[in-house]
Structure 1
Amino acid sequence: MLSFNGYNIEPIQLKDAWNLCDFIVANEDRLKRYFPKTLKQNLTPDLSKYFVEKKVKQFGLKEELLFTIKENEPNTLVGLVYLKELDWNKKQGEFAYCIGYPFEEKGIMTKTIGKLSEYAFAQLGLETLQIIVHKDNIASVKVAEKCNFIWKRTLNNEYTPPGETPLNMELYELYREIE
């Protein structure tokens, strides 16, 4: 669907289940705080198969869009991007993303969010994109800022990681330019 510098961004596909399970298990420690549901639903190949079937269906219905980021060669899954909390009346959606350990700090997620933002505005007709991030997640804050998302406000007690107290999160937004 979209590509850059040897990477492809594609909607989740049924054939991705096995690679998704491998990706999730290999990155379990980094996913457990902000992606606990995705982690829990992909700990075995059978769970991943069910998860991917559900996500493919949701994609088709435009309820939630899950994209994979893969290296062209050897077709390795390097990250995931959700376009979630879709409100077609407000023309708004929220990005949530994660990348595998070996691929961090290479600008891959920044490029991906840039490309998917263009896609969301041009192809999906969205007008507002959001990223909600904890201020201590510096890498994620940098992605938002490098992609021209603007900090809007602190959301008090917005997210509760497993076994922790609620966290304040930072809301960033990007708006479609009207010509």
Structure 2
Amino acid sequence: MVTLSFNNLTINAIKATDAWPLCNFIAANDDRLKRYFPKTLQQNLTPDLAQNFTDKKVKQFQLKKEFLFTIKEKASNDVAGLVYLKELDWTTKQAEFAYCIGYQFEGKGITTKAVGILSDYAFETLGLKTLQIIVHKDNHASVAVAINNSFTWIKTLKNEHTPPNESPLDMELYELYYEME
């Protein structure tokens, strides 16, 4: 079980008991999630869907196929945000971060701190060598998370992401490499 802490928050591996808090987080932030997290949104619209989602993500975590972490307030146990470590390639030891934060927690540096902590976890515990963040250039907060965690801009990925009911978007690729100290 992965539990990491900072300030009044914890970062935890997804658990089956997270279904209700996750469903509440999705419901409260559906408008923020629809463009870049449409699948997560669709899979968590009801408590039953959220339970199926969390059960699936727990299995994926155990099988090291995808790692989903919740960021929660310690006092309330409410979900403040999510951080995925996905698109894992164990041959090249590479993975991609995806993250979202609840509207009431934005602008507080929480996502930046969580990605920093989880980057260390990915390198030191999982043995990964390259971490990626793929973000739209206009998503300034997400670009800041990458830059503030020393990710380097690599290139523009043409037509990389197609939001629901929109044309494909070019996305920016940032990478961070493990450096032995």
Q: Same fold (TM over 0.5)?
A: yes
TM class by smaller structure: over 0.9
Q: Structure 1 vs Structure 2: percent identity of aligned residues?
A: 68
Pairwise mapping of residues 9-48 of structure 1 onto structure 2 (< 5 A)?
9-48=11-50
TM-score by length of 2: 0.98
What is aligned with 2:78?
Answer: 76
> Which string of whole-angstrom CA distances, capped at 9 and with x for unpartnered residues, describes residues 56-101 of structure 1?
0000000000000001111111000000000000000000000000
Secondary structure at 1:112's aligned position in 2? helix
Counterpart of 1:124 in 2: which secondary structure?
coil
Q: Which residue of 2 aligns with 1:5?
A: 7
Q: Number of aligned residue pairs: give it.
A: 179
In 1, the alpha carbon distance for the partners of 2:78 and 2:53 equals 19
**Where in structure 2 are there 5+ consecutive unaligned residues?**
none
Distance (Å, rounded) in 2 between the aligned partners of 1:71 and 1:136: 28
Aligned counterpart for 1:97 among listed residues 89, 99, 103: 99
Q: Distance in 2 between matches of 1:52 and 1:100?
A: 18
- Give the letter for the 1:24 counterpart: I
Distance 2:71 2:180 in 1: 29
CA distance in 2: counterparts of 1:63 and 1:74, whole angstroms? 30
Alignment equivalent of 1:60, drawn from 50, 59, 62:
62
For residues 32-78 of structure 1, the C-alpha deviation after alignment (integer angstroms, 9 at most, x for no partner) is 00000000000000000000000000000000000000011111110
Corresponding letter in the other structure for 1:68: T
TM-score normalised by L of structure 1: 0.99
* Ranges in structure 1 where 5+ consecutive residues have no aligned partner: none
